[in-house]
Each structure stands twice: as structure tokens, then as C-alpha cells.
Amino acid sequence: MFVLVLNAGSSSQKSCLYSLEESIPDTPPKPLWEAHLDWTVAQSGGVLTVKSNDIRQRIEVEKKESALQILLDTLTTGKTKVLESFNDINAVGHRVVHGGAKYSQATVIDDEVKKAIASLIPLAPSHNPANLEGIETIEKLLPEVPQVAVFDTAFHTTIPQAAKVYPLPYEYYQKGIQRYGFHGISHQYCSQRTAQILQQPLESLKIVTCHLGNGCSLAAIDKGICIDTTMGFSPLEGLMMGTRCGSIDPQIPIYLMQKYGLNVENVNHLLNQESGLLGVSGVSGDMRAICKAMSDNNEQAQLAFNIYLYRLKKAIGAMVASLNGLDVLVFTAGVGENSAIVREKTCGGLSYLGLQLDLDKNNANPVDKNIAAEDSMVKILVIHTQEDWAIAQMAFNWTI
């Protein structure tokens, strides 16, 4: 059977197609077809990159209104064709960024689910509209095929109230202001993959997963259940990120508005797009560029790196405290998977946990491996997060 995955973002659309048999394999298979539509690399439109049949094709797309249909057409036409017809597709899985407090697991999409996704647009204005667009496009194309919403917030619905409720008047919690958490699909996948790699029951492990990309978050996972995470009501809270500030004194935005005349839109853009690594370094929000600038003795880049590490180590300590111990520390996503220096410096500040890194293993571009030293009391894993595969599995489970 064929499972299509649509992973829509504010400025991109990632998609893939999996061919699955009657059961799910233990290790993630390679997609039969992959497509990535990026609206940030060209001034006049978007760039669609499609990979299948050992072919890589680049297509320029002018209008967003027709972009998704152009992307999907590469499944059945041209050099990248892998299906005779869209009717060959058996299920479609969608990553939906915000599911609110209601959805704690993947859910077959119906009118009620669509209304819920639409109602949460104010909490995820850059993502939920794109998620709905994908759902409605598939409805027109394949009205009989089951579509499954896989919510990024679902994995975090198990967080206890002491970690979930903000210390505001309780009425605001009743109105929906609470810690939701994000990157849940990645955190859940990595916890399950950890158990597979270590060949230990997930129920026996205390895990901290570090999803470190342009957006960054941690999750504290006890016996497979998330009990805390660093992102909160929005993806702005928590760690220092590429262009997001993470947690700061909540009085600062108010002060910026009062002292410097910034309005809500100005402050929102500053905190989300002008801060983090980019804001402090003045160089870039990309860790690779930060490290390059550090090698050229750029003091602001070094400061940005130091702040990033300080906040990361402090937040890991908070997650360990919520778990009352630690068996496994996991690094994943773009920075977590590829930056040996970030892993080295982070682990070097956590030796009080009995955690010891094997430097040779760390520097050997590890993927889905334990890079802890033999005498380390804590396992250290680098895991290639595969959100699309996790979505495909959940969509597949609804068809059997």
C-alpha cells in the first residue's frame, strides 16, 4: 500500500511517499518519492525539489495557489513518476502543528477535526492554515481516501498540571492559556528509536530528547510518557534558537513598547525573527555560520555560542530534575545531529550526572548510535529524526 505524507510549514512544504507491506518495518525505509517546496530561496517564487527513481528534479513555482498541485503532479507524471494514478494512494498523513488540548493522538480527519484545526489558527498562524490547505487539496483529489492528522502537540498532552499551568489567574488556563509544547512528533519518534537502538523496553528509561534545529526544544520522557518540555504556549518559549529568543523576562516586551515605541507587530517580529543566535551574533541564525565566525575570532559569535550552550545545559538540568534521574540523553535535528562541537560542549558541562562522551565516536558523524564512553553512567545517542516516517506509521495504523 502507498502512504502519502504532507508536512506543511510557513515557508515550505515537505512531502514523501512510502510503499508499505502488511506490517511496519523495524527500521525506517527510504521513501519512494520525496518533494520539498521552499519559498525562501528565490525572490520571484518557490523552488520545488523532487527526488525519486535516482533522479533529482528542480522546478520553479510562481504561485502559491497552484504550488501544492504542481508538487503532487510529480507523483504521476514526468521523470519522477512513481504512481500510475493518485487513486493508488491508500492513506494520507498530515503534520498539524497545533491540536490544542483536545487531541492526544493521531486522528482521522472529518469536519469536526477541520473546524478544530481552524479554531487554533490564532495559536499557530504560520502553520495551521497551510495544514488545512493540504487537507482540503487532498479532499478534492481523493475524496474517499482516509486522511490522518498527526498533531505536533499531542505527545505533550500527558504533561502534569504542575508543569502545564502558568502562574496567571486560573481563569486564563480555563480559556486555553497553558503549556502545549511542540516538536512532539520528533520527540516521540526519538524516544521510541532510543529503545530500539539500546534494545531496552521504553518503559524502563528516563530520557531527555534535545531537538536542536532552527527551532529548539527539550522533552523529559519517563517510561515513554512526556512529563515536561521547554516550549510552551507558543514555540517561542524555552531554549535560545536560530532567530527566536526563547525564554526572557516577560517585562522586556512591555518595556520595549513603552520605552522605544514598538508596537505588537514590531515586538513579535523582533522576538521571533531578529533574536536568538542571529540577534546576539549579528552574523547568522545558522550554527554553522556561527562556528565559522568563531574560528575567525568574532567575539559576538562566540558570545552567542556561549549563551546557547549555557541555556541548553541549564534546561537539560531542569528536565533531569523533573525526571528525578537520567538514563539517556538524545541529540536530534539539524544542529543536534550534525554539530559535534555542540554535543561535545554540552556533554562536557553535564559530567556531574555521570555522563561521559567518547570524543572519537562524537566526531565520526554518528547516526542512530550511542556516543557515550564505556564508563559513562548515561547513554548519549545521536538519532536522525524522521518525522515523516512517524506520520506515515500513524496514518498506516488507521488503514489496517
Encode pLDDT of 301-359 as tens digits.
999 999 999 999 999 999 999 999 999 999 999 899 999 999 999 999 999 999 999 99
The mean pLDDT of 86-115, rounded to a whole number, is: 90
The C-alpha cell 547568522 sits at 284
336 known member of a binding site: yes
SS3 call for 41: coil
Q: Provide the edge-to-edge strand list for the sheet that holds 369-370.
A: 225-229, 216-222, 206-212, 328-332, 379-382, 369-370
Which of the residues are catalytic? Answer: 152
pLDDT value at residue 41: 67
Q: Are strands 147-151 and 107-108 parallel, antiparallel or unpaired?
A: antiparallel
- Convert the pLDDT of each residue in 239-276 to its tens digit: 999 999 999 999 999 999 999 999 999 999 999 999 99
CATH of the domain spanning 2-151, picked from 1.10.240.10, 3.20.20.60, 3.30.420.40, 3.40.50.720: 3.30.420.40
Q: Please calculate the CA angle 225-315-8 and round it to the nearest 5 degrees.
A: 65
Q: What is the DSSP letter of 30?
A: P
- Of 235, 329, 345, 247, the C-alpha closest to 287 is 345
- Is 345 annotated to bind ligand? no
- Please indicate if the annotation marks 215 as binding a ligand: yes
Residue-wise over 128-147: b if at least 16 C-beta within 10 A, else e? bebbbbbbebbeeebeebeb
200-382 carries CATH number 3.30.420.40: yes
Answer whether residue 400 shows pLDDT above 70: no
pLDDT mean over 145-150: 93
Q: Which amino acid is at 323?
A: L
Rounded Cα distance between 263 and 308, Å, is 27
Residue ranges, comma separated, of all CATH 3.30.420.40 domains in the chain are 2-151, 200-382
Grid coordinates representing 206 are 528516563
Q: Determine if residue 337 is labeled as part of a ligand binding site.
A: yes
Nearest to 213 by CA among 276, 303, 154: 276
Take residue 44 and report the three cell numbers written for it: 520571484
Quote the CA–CA distance of 206 and 387 in Å, as a whole number: 21
Torsion sign over Cα 31, 188, 119, 236: negative
| pTM of this structure | 0.91
Mean pLDDT of 108-112: 92
